[in-house]
Amino acid sequence: MACVLLVMALVFHALTGNFLTPENLYNIAQQTAVVGIVSTAMALVIVARQIDLSVGSVLGLVGVLIAFLMYTKGWHWLPASLAGLAVALVVALYQGWLTAVLGVPSFVVTLGGLMSFRGAAFLVADGKTQPVSDATFLLFGGGLDGSLGPLWSWLLGLALSALLVWKVWALRRSAAVHGALIRPLALDLGLAAAAVAVLLGFVATMNAYVLADKGAGQGVPVPVLIWAGVVMSVSFLVRRTRFGRYVYAIGGNPEAARLAGIPVKRVLLQLFALLALLITVAAVVAVSRLNAGTNSLGTGMELYVIAAAVIGGVALSGGSGSVLGSVLGALVIQFLDSGLLLVDVAIGWRMVIIGQVLIVAVVFDVLYRRASGERLE
């Protein structure tokens, strides 16, 4: 998957000459964040054999509500965002209850939600655009001011690199203490080196983007920072907590999960709640990027979010896929979209191509699973 990204970048750069520039990569990074944030949770929802088609509409509802509370009602951004979160959670509990407790397929529940919550987004402010001007709030969207700057970007990059190396070392040590299998040292070293190189390379690129009137480099944009925090948190949930394990168990075999004593309904409700939280985070970033909340915010986003998860290797039959895959999947879509735009491909053809790339990804997935002898449902 990472190779696919690299090949795409090189091809687009060869075609246009300005794909691999700090400016373009900076923009791609922050444009991908909104979809990327939601698709980390969407990956888990699909792993658990569910789907949520209403994410774009709920994002629109929450986003316009936050903007409405700030602009029309004069609220501070923090209570406004918390109110948005509360609404997202109510929606999640309602749809989750229909799905997990009553057993209505989530496809149907959220297909209805796709329609209803888009309508609700219109109702919040009667369809009027709600501009947002709070300087602090606008930092969440990145843009020209919402980035860390060179110094903090380097410090963050180095701190994360150190954390990574320490994690690898600690894992090897406790594996040795417990007499578990230890991976070859060269493999661990190679993986750690590659990860650190990507991390520091990313920081260097973001710092290399210098605006003419600013003098200093931009550094890591805030939306990317939020996205990275979300990815690390959700990965932690998946790997280290019972919740994460149960999500995969439910996806692998729902009946076995139930018979093993897993509280399946509760886990699914928690999963929808996690998605609601991340939709709210993404809504804050999206509104801030636009400087406004509109009732059309997030239209069609469900397709990008689901496509990112699927291209990233999440199987729609459930039980397999990863959070990191959703990151790469989101980047693949954005690379494609931006690259084709730079090559001057018209919007119609862009949509045709991106749709077919999604199918190619799934075809590869099916062929790979068949070749590796996995049973297909």
Partner 1 sequence: MSRDMPIEALVALRGISKSFGGVRAVDDVSLNLYPGEVVALLGHNGAGKSTLMKLLAGAYPVDAGELRIAGRPVRISDPAAAQALGIETIHQTLALADNLDAVANLFLGREMRTRFGLLDEFGMERAAREVFKRLNPNFRNLAVPVRSLSGGQRQVVAISRAVHFNARVLIMDEPCAALGPQETQMVHDLVRRLKAQGVGIFLITHDMTDVFALSDRLAVMKNGRTVGVYRTGDLNEDQVLAMIIAGKQPAGIAQTVETT
Binding site for partner 1 (CB under 8 A): 174-175, 177-181, 239-242, 245, 248-249, 251-253, 255-263, 319-320, 373-375
Least distance to partner 1 from the beta carbon of 326, Å? 17
Look up residue 313 and give its amino acid. G
Least distance to partner 1 from the beta carbon of 340, Å? 35
Look up residue 159 and give its amino acid. A
Q: Which is nearer to partner 1, 13 or 245 (CB)?
A: 245
In this structure, what token pair is assigned to residue 195? 């990860």
Q: Which is nearer to partner 1, 46 or 58 (CB)?
A: 46
Q: Which is nearer to partner 1, 178 or 185 (CB)?
A: 178
Q: Which is nearer to partner 1, 131 or 252 (CB)?
A: 252
Least distance to partner 1 from the beta carbon of 94, Å? 24
Distances (CA, A) of 360 to 11, 46, 215, 331, 363: 18, 19, 44, 16, 5
Q: Hey, is 269 helix, strand or coil? A: helix
Least distance to partner 1 from the beta carbon of 46, Å? 13
User: Which residues contact residue 172 at a Cβ distance below 8 angstroms, ignoring those fewer than 6 apart?
Assistant: 182, 183, 185, 188
In angstroms, the CA 341 to CA 162 distance is 37
User: Which residues contact residue 230 at a Cβ distance below 8 angstroms, ignoring those fewer than 6 apart?
Assistant: 36, 37, 40, 278, 281
Q: Which is nearer to partner 1, 49 or 289 (CB)?
A: 49
Q: Please provide residue 193's backbone torsions phi and psi, each rounded to the nearest 5 degrees.
A: -65, -45
Least distance to partner 1 from the beta carbon of 235, Å? 13
